[in-house]
Amino acid sequence: MMKFACKALALSMIAGLSTVSFAAEDNALAKSGLSFSGSAALTTDYRYRGMTQTQSDPALQGGFALTHESGVYAGVWGSNVNFGTADPHLELDPYIGYATELPFAGKPTLDVGLWYYGYPSASDLNWLELYAKLGFSDLVASGDSLLASVNYTNDFFGLDEDAWYLNATYSIPFADTGFGGVASVGYTKADNYDFSDNGSEDDNYVDWKVGVTYAVKSIEGFSAELAAVGTNIDADAQPYKRGVETGAVFTLTKSF
């Protein structure tokens, strides 16, 4: 736990220095209608749609994006991974998209784009996914949000298989305390793919997350999240079972 705390402190310091170094560049970008943003995070387990990507071990993650005032954006996101094999050890995902506010009641935000899952040392696992998201704000309480998304690929994990992912995520602040709540549920359906490890032939599964967040008021962009994350995947053997069943995940994030 002490090592985790030390890494978290170092992470926040690095992110803070990055904010200063990019300040001058942000001014130049603004004149071109561009804005720069990024984040760095340390998590006890990299869970992707409820499933561990690190054999239930910690992960260091980060990314950055450039956004044009027109709504077009592009970026890259990365994390260490461990699938229980020699390779890969790194996931590096470039993406591009377009977001715009729709002229409807409530002014929902539409976000569409392409996300490329890249594994530099295991390119046969690379795959491309299309996504569309619809975001709503101030639905029940001031500052809350609901994000609904649909994702599709015809090359799931590089296997030339069709797959769909549906998700809904709701976030709400707890007054002005800095604390908040988050809950999400997702559904994955993949053709000719068995998510179980016991021959159950489960080509679909449900994932969920329920957690509490905290935004540190004294450090801009610094937040923490403690969440229960899991799936209904039928698994018998370790370590796979541990990586898909419900577990606690703690994450520290510094955005800039």
pLDDT tens sequence across 23-39: 556 677 778 899 999 99
Number of domains forming the structure of the chain = 1
pTM as predicted = 0.88
Mean pLDDT of the chain: 91
Q: Is 183 exposed, middle or buried (0-12, 13-18, 19+ CB in 10 A)?
A: middle
Q: Is the pLDDT score of 18 beyond 60?
A: no
Q: What is the mean pLDDT of residues 110-130?
A: 97
Q: Is 11 left (phi over 0), alpha (psi -120 to 50) or beta?
A: alpha
Q: Domain of residue 62: give its range.
A: 2-255
CATH of the domain at 91: 2.40.160.40
Q: What is the mean pLDDT of residues 166-172?
A: 98
The DSSP-derived string for 110-127 is EEEEEEEE--TT-GGG-E
pLDDT tens sequence across 132-167: 999 999 999 999 999 999 999 999 999 999 999 999
Q: Please name the residues in contact with 23: beta carbons below 8 A apart, sequence gap of 6 or more.
A: none
